[in-house]
Amino acid sequence: MQISKAHNIMASALNFRSTRQDMIAGNIANIDTPFYRPKDIEFQDMLAKKAAKVFNTDKDQKLEMARTSSLHMETSDEINSRKSTVFFRDGHLSRNDGNSVDLDIETTELSKNSVMYNALTATLKKESAMFKSALAASEKL
């Protein structure tokens, strides 16, 4: 059962935040692994497009290509809009062993992700409590 329009988006965001937490923890765990490059995941654009579609705020004035057959290939925008992107977080100085994990950056990203995860969890709990409250009030009628 869907409680609100935003429920599925928040649930997806929670899953992505959990995945990102695991990736950052893996980066920290590999801080001493030679030639290790830190990984991260980009999913905000995909969630923003999904939210725009759900809330009908999609102001994209792009002309869509007609697909007259299910065998036609999808455009690259259609493919990228449904997926998150895993990338290497480069740009940091690598040490002599080729490892480019920066503990300060990883712990900062871990903290930011944790705050967002906790905010999403609190929001989902609040949404659930509001739904339960409405059900309890309707039982008293």
Q: What is the pLDDT along the chain (141 residues), one digit of tens a residue?
A: 556 788 888 988 999 999 999 999 999 999 999 999 999 988 888 888 888 887 777 665 566 677 788 787 776 555 455 567 887 887 667 788 889 999 999 999 999 999 999 999 999 999 888 888 888 888 887
CA 129 – CA 107 distance, rounded (Å): 33
In angstroms, what CA-CA distances link 82 with 18, 49, 78, 117? 18, 9, 7, 21
Output the pTM of the full model.
0.71
Query: Which residues, listed in sequence order, are joined to residue 40 by a DSSP beta bridge?
Result: 87
Q: How many Å apart are CA 112 and CA 24, to the nearest integer?
A: 11
Residue 10: which residues within 8 A CB-CB, separation 6 or more?
120, 123, 124, 127
